[in-house]
Structure 1
Amino acid sequence: MTATTFEHYPENVGILAMEMYFPSRCVDQSEMETFDGVSAGKYTIGLGQEKMAFIDDREDIQSICLTAVHNLMEKYNIAYTDIGRLEVGTETIIDKSKSVKTTLMTLFGEHGNYEIEGIDTTNACYGGFNAFSNAVNWIESSSWDGRYAIVIAGDLALYASGAARPTSGAGVVAMLIGKNAPIVVERGLRSTHMEHAYDFYKPDMHSEYPVVDGKYSNTCYLAAFDACYNRYMGRLGKALNKEKPSMDDIDYLVCHSPYAKLVNKSFARASYNDFLKDPENEKFAPLAGFKEVSYAESLENRDLEKACVGMTKAGYAQKVGPAAFVPKQIGNMYTAAVWSGLASLISEVDSETLKDKRVLLYSYGSGLAASMISFRITGSTDGIKQKLNLRERLAARTIAKPEDFAEAMAIREKTHNVRDYVPSGNLDHIASGVYYVEKIDDKWRRFYKRKD
């Protein structure tokens, strides 16, 4: 695309503000290893996770989204009447018809704003990215009325007892989208890959837990990464007038994080894709022996994976490490996971260092849907970093016992889809300014309160 293609669009559309909510309680993954009777390091080294956030029956998808949006509006002093679109990405479904967005409208109705476009988007962990795309596309369309958009990506990542449970977590990210943003979407640089797969899905309406084929899901994730990465690099090459663009042209990488080790493998995988385009380059010498490996075999070849991880270790620490910090501390958040990585990057790297840098973001949702876009940091991110205050807030959480986590999961199992119910969770675990479920009446209608 030529530069003139974009002349009629608002300038520098992207992220103006970010807020993140996560539960006040978490468990240490090393303690979970002991509790589950697995080998030391299985979760902390094997998965690369450190802590895992969890909630009981006092919070649900709507309460955590209410908290995130309310806090975003308060921290940035945004007028509720200045919002013209509200998009929610989530796969945590508590109603098969009524969207989470409609519940969030209670916040805006109090200020007389009922004209807000957007509803929920659902496809595993990809919903948040699609919600973001809808918001950006609205601002760049003839439908835009000049107001801001808010994107909410959030989930409760819950698994049945077993191998997948340590990849649980909970969190939500809310973002203000508009023009003249410091975190700008690079136009014309995006790629998408979609196909049909049963790697992770939720067919049982009587349970919050998914059906997961873990090994297959990892393969799907990496294959979709390859497809998006190669398409993106093709477009970046044209934009830069460069024959062989590579990860050298990317300053930071943010990936959807079901668990940290998979993100590590993705970054390493990029080097393999770069090698295939430039096999004679000396920097790829450690991969020379894998030139004839078939593509299908490459996805599961442990020797290739080890070689790629080894040669990209230093690059990972610099380009991926800052974005991996927060997901390691919270666990999987489904739609929020990739955006929590972006929030982590903004929080871990100072604004001056980020200035003019290119940030590549990869979103993956099982089933499957995946996209890759890039941002340019064109303005100061200091304000966002200060308001997120992630390091201090994460450190202030209560470290609960694994038994408390197991009890909370048991409560949720027993009370899933109940009606005429008052939650039993202790309100001491609800922090000030956080919304919680007050009751569910005999018609399944949910009522919320904000803790003073």
Structure 2
Amino acid sequence: MNVGIDKINFYVPPYFIDMVDLAHAREVDPNKFTIGIGQDQMAVNKKTQDIVTFAMHAAKDILTKEDLQAIDMVIVGTESGIDESKASAVVLHRLLGIQPFARSFEIKEACYGATAGLQFAKAHVQANPKSKVLVVASDIARYGLASGGEPTQGVGAVAMLISADPAILQLDNDNLMLTQDIYDFWRPVGHQYPMVDGHLSNAVYIDSFKQVWQAHCEKNQRTAKDYAALSFHIPYTKMGKKALLAVFAEEEETQQERLMARYEESIVYSRRTGNLYTGSLYLGLISLLENSSSLQANDRIGLFSYGSGAVAEFFSGILVPGYEKQLAQAAHQTLLDARQKLTIAEYEAMFNETIDIDQDQSFEDDLLYSIREIKNTIRYYKEENE
């Protein structure tokens, strides 16, 4: 049975900062951000916008009434949970109007969580061919103002509908996974921002890709020539490029050029949004599919997922004939272009505004599904009929 991604969409909030502006404010060479890490813009959110808000916007436009009746599982991959107990997927299930007899939960393992959800969804549909599963990656990547990680921040969500006979990408059964107990990035309970060993994290990312790529190729008897393109987890756009160069330096020059050209197409959107954590791999996949004129039906796409701490996975899928008709390049371009550019002062003020969950209060935000009220520590969201 063919199972895979039937629909896919991303969303980022309507605000951003320019990385050149940030560089000047932090008194560093702008090339350090635009070339050194490969970022041009960073998505920014208000305090009244959270992972539920982003998940709703990413999911609602791709789901039909028929989908809402067929979905029997909602999975949110995130490391930005809003509750230590209740899953955001439960709130998302209600706001979307999905039929009640469904399973809803969150998965956490740094930036890998959504990939775990995708694989769980695939297995569920294989066992229940009439089912559909909604998998959403939604996160807020924050390291603090003027911190070392500040230029690799970002925010947003990617929603994927998993089904039998998918219209976009048929997932293969060729997964290769790797788990290593390494403290390259972590956030203890109670800490507002993560702890990061940047050099170690970069090294573990590259080494993890080397290991899973080699083992994957040995297991499945493949080489780089079998892949039309590779999509990577993108904490910043130079990271995937480093891994690609480290592994394929010995490949024929034509193979290197081909894979690098596809990689550049996969980072078009990430350069304008920053790090989506769990969603970054799948934002890269959307960017690849929407910005490449070289891909064709039946091409094999490889996907490298990485979550610090550390879990890595490499798997692949086959492009379905007509996949390009399921994409929304014009809408995504409009979404990115319509955002408001903030000054660094406006960004810093927005960054420093936080919600006291223990204080009952109401909020004004024009954005649909934003938090409208906190009452008895519960978040209430603005809905379409309000």
Shorter-chain TM-score above 0.5: yes
- The 8 Å contact of residues 19 and 387 in structure 1, kept in 2 or not, is answered as no
1:340-369 CA-to-partner distances (Å, cap 9, x unmatched) read 11111121125x833111110000001111
Q: Which amino acid aligns with 1:214?
A: G
Q: Give the equivalent residue in structure 1 for 2:270.
A: 327
Please state if 1:266 is matched with 2:243.
yes
- The 8 Å contact of residues 19 and 388 in structure 1, kept in 2 or not, is answered as no
Which of 192, 195, 214 pairs up with 1:230? 214
Q: Which amino acid aligns with 1:80?
A: L
Name structure 2 gaps, 5 residues minimum: none
1:183 deviates by 3.2
| Alpha-carbon distance in structure 2 between the residues aligned to 1:78 and 1:269 | 45
- The 8 Å contact of residues 143 and 194 in structure 2, kept in 1 or not, is answered as yes
Q: Give the equivalent residue in structure 1 for 2:371.
A: 437
Tell me which protein shows more helix as a share of its residues: 1
- The 8 Å contact of residues 155 and 334 in structure 1, kept in 2 or not, is answered as yes
Q: Give the equivalent residue in structure 1 for 2:91.
A: 103
Name structure 1 gaps, 5 residues minimum: 1-9, 238-244, 276-280, 285-310
Which of 16, 30, 49 pairs up with 2:20? 30
* 1:226-305 correspondence runs (5 A): 226-237=210-221, 245-272=222-249, 275=250, 283=252
Q: Give the equivalent residue in structure 1 for 2:139.
A: 155
- The 8 Å contact of residues 206 and 417 in structure 1, kept in 2 or not, is answered as no
| Alpha-carbon distance in structure 2 between the residues aligned to 1:401 and 1:46 | 22
- The 8 Å contact of residues 67 and 132 in structure 2, kept in 1 or not, is answered as no
Which of 75, 78, 82 pairs up with 1:87? 75
More deviation in 257-266 or 378-387?
378-387
Q: Give the equivalent residue in structure 1 for 2:341.
A: 399
- The 8 Å contact of residues 58 and 437 in structure 1, kept in 2 or not, is answered as yes
Change (3 A) 1:130 1:257: same
| Alpha-carbon distance in structure 2 between the residues aligned to 1:355 and 1:140 | 23
| Alpha-carbon distance in structure 2 between the residues aligned to 1:200 and 1:381 | 36
Q: Give the equivalent residue in structure 2 for 1:189.
A: 174
1:83-102 CA-to-partner distances (Å, cap 9, x unmatched) read 11111111102211000111
Please state if 1:122 is matched with 2:122.
no
Q: Give the equivalent residue in structure 2 for 1:134.
A: 120
Q: Which amino acid aligns with 2:295?
A: T
SS at match of 2:175: strand
Q: Which amino acid aligns with 1:51?
A: Q
Over alpha carbons, which structure has the higher Rg?
Answer: 1
| Alpha-carbon distance in structure 1 between the residues aligned to 2:314 and 2:330 | 24
CA RMSD between the two structures: 2.1
| Alpha-carbon distance in structure 2 between the residues aligned to 1:155 and 1:20 | 12
Please state if 1:422 is matched with 2:362.
yes
Which of 184, 192, 205 pairs up with 2:190? 205
Change (3 A) 1:336 1:388: farther
Q: Give the equivalent residue in structure 2 for 1:19.
A: 9
1:257 deviates by 0.3
- The 8 Å contact of residues 169 and 323 in structure 2, kept in 1 or not, is answered as no
Number of equivalent positions: 384
Q: Which amino acid aligns with 2:14?
A: S
Q: Give the equivalent residue in structure 2 for 1:448.
A: 381
Q: Normalising by the residue count of structure 1, what TM-score does the alignment of the two structures yield? A: 0.80
SS at match of 1:18: strand
1:370 deviates by 0.8
| Alpha-carbon distance in structure 1 between the residues aligned to 2:213 and 2:337 | 35
| Alpha-carbon distance in structure 2 between the residues aligned to 1:46 and 1:447 | 41
| Alpha-carbon distance in structure 2 between the residues aligned to 1:349 and 1:389 | 16
- The 8 Å contact of residues 170 and 320 in structure 2, kept in 1 or not, is answered as no
Please state if 1:48 is matched with 2:38.
yes
1:408-439 CA-to-partner distances (Å, cap 9, x unmatched) read 11113xx364431334xx635x3xxx310001
| Alpha-carbon distance in structure 1 between the residues aligned to 2:237 and 2:142 | 17
- The 8 Å contact of residues 247 and 270 in structure 1, kept in 2 or not, is answered as no
Change (3 A) 1:155 1:353: same
| Alpha-carbon distance in structure 1 between the residues aligned to 2:258 and 2:129 | 43
Q: Normalising by the residue count of structure 2, what TM-score does the alignment of the two structures yield? A: 0.93
- The 8 Å contact of residues 159 and 210 in structure 1, kept in 2 or not, is answered as yes
Change (3 A) 1:405 1:78: farther
- The 8 Å contact of residues 17 and 384 in structure 1, kept in 2 or not, is answered as yes
